[in-house]
Amino acid sequence: MTPALETEAPVVSTSSKPAPEVSKDKPKGPQKKQRGPKNHQGKANWHRPYPQGYRIPKLEPSAVDSVFNMARNLMEFTAKEQERMNRTFPCK
């Protein structure tokens, strides 16, 4: 032991009642059982992303081509508009 601990005085209780003994056994008496939610209440609803028999639709190649054509046309249009704006309002 360290010298500081040897010189300390023991702790004395000032109450007149003796301290109750703490039992390390299981508590006596009936224990309440924790009950879970009934009928799955309180749980988040989980659904399959796609029900059985449902097919994820595939994109038609013509639809994909038309989307790319629209994007290309939009980019060309914005480039032409930017060029026109630069001619109309030249930066100094």
pLDDT in tens, 6-21: 566 666 656 677 666 7
Give the pLDDT confidence score for residue 70 in this predicted structure.
Answer: 97
Give the pLDDT confidence score for residue 89 in this predicted structure.
Answer: 85
Write b or e for each residue in 72-86: b if 16 or more Cβ atoms lie within 10 A of its Cβ, otherwise e. Answer: eeeeeeeeeeeeeee
Give the pLDDT confidence score for residue 88 in this predicted structure.
Answer: 87
The structure's pTM equals: 0.34
Give 27's DSSP letter.
P
pLDDT in tens, 40-80: 566 666 666 666 666 777 888 899 999 999 999 999 999 99
Give the pLDDT confidence score for residue 1 in this predicted structure.
Answer: 53
Q: Where are the domains of the chain?
A: 62-86
